[in-house]
Chains A and B, each alone.
Chain A
Amino acid sequence: GQNIDQPTEMTATEGAIVQINCTYQTSGFNGLFWYQQHAGEAPTFLSYNVLDGLEEKGRFSSFLSRSKGYSYLLLKELQMKDSASYLCAVVDSNYQLIWGAGTKLIIKP
């Protein structure tokens, strides 16, 4: 079967750095997305990785290792508004998006 694993919940302090991990086992791989979802709202796109390595976009960076079936989202200089769920989703061989359940990130002052 296809599986995406992420921690259920993480807590971090405002101004700090946090890394949210995602491991996947899918039938094929055509890229990995990270989405941010605030409570009661729709997911919004953060990043897409298809090649190994680190992609940096402002305070957010995303890393991919295809050989290890592993990605992480790195959030720097955390702000209170970063409190949200972060969903990892993998595009499989049929170009279907396989979603993780998301990691709820709680930011404390």
Chain B
Amino acid sequence: DAMVIQNPRYQVTQFGKPVTLSCSQTLNHNVMYWYQQKSSQAPKLLFHYYDKDFNNEADTPDNFQSRRPNTSFCFLDIRSPGLGDAAMYLCATSRGTSGSAEQFFGPGTRLTVL
């Protein structure tokens, strides 16, 4: 089945220790997104790629970086995680960015910062 896969599902890291979250997709969608979602809050868009074009949201901290080496894979790097970065990180894909372009989500990675 075509899908969006995120690894790991649960990630524990130490305060300040870099961590990388990964996302892969078999949908062959050209757009990939990274969201941060804290409990009972709306998903917050961090970045998105339209093919290889990187789009950074204005309020995304510099501590967050992303890479998309090819169509199928996208990575989220948190260079120095703080306690406030503990959240669910959701990867999503879509075919284009038209109004009706449904976003398909992976299962998420829950990040805990100790």
The chain A residues found within 8 Å of chain B, CB to CB, are 4, 8, 30-31, 33, 40-45, 48, 50, 85, 87, 91, 95-97, 99-102, 104
Q: Does B78 contact A (CB under 8 A)?
A: no
Q: Chain B's interface: helix, strand, loop or mixed, by majority?
A: loop
Per-residue contact bits, chain B 38-50, to A (CB 8 Å; 1 contact, 0 not): 0011111100000
Which of B99, B101, B107 meets A41, CB within 8 Å? Answer: B107
Q: Does B108 contact A (CB under 8 A)?
A: yes
Q: Are B106 and A97 in contact (CB under 8 A)?
A: no
Known: A42-B105, A95-B98. 13 other contacts (CB 8 A): A31-B99, A40-B108, A41-B107, A42-B106, A42-B107, A43-B90, A45-B102, A85-B40, A87-B43, A99-B42, A99-B43, A99-B44, A100-B42
The chain B residues found within 8 Å of chain A, CB to CB, are 40-45, 88, 90, 97-108, 110
Contacts of B107 in A (CB 8 A): 41-42
Can you sample 26 A-B contacts with CB below 8 Å?
A4-B42, A8-B40, A30-B98, A30-B99, A31-B100, A40-B88, A41-B107, A41-B108, A42-B90, A42-B105, A43-B90, A43-B105, A44-B105, A45-B102, A45-B103, A45-B104, A85-B40, A91-B99, A95-B99, A96-B45, A97-B45, A99-B43, A99-B44, A100-B42, A101-B42, A104-B40
A97-B103 contact, Cβ under 8 Å, with A4-B42, A43-B43, A87-B42: yes
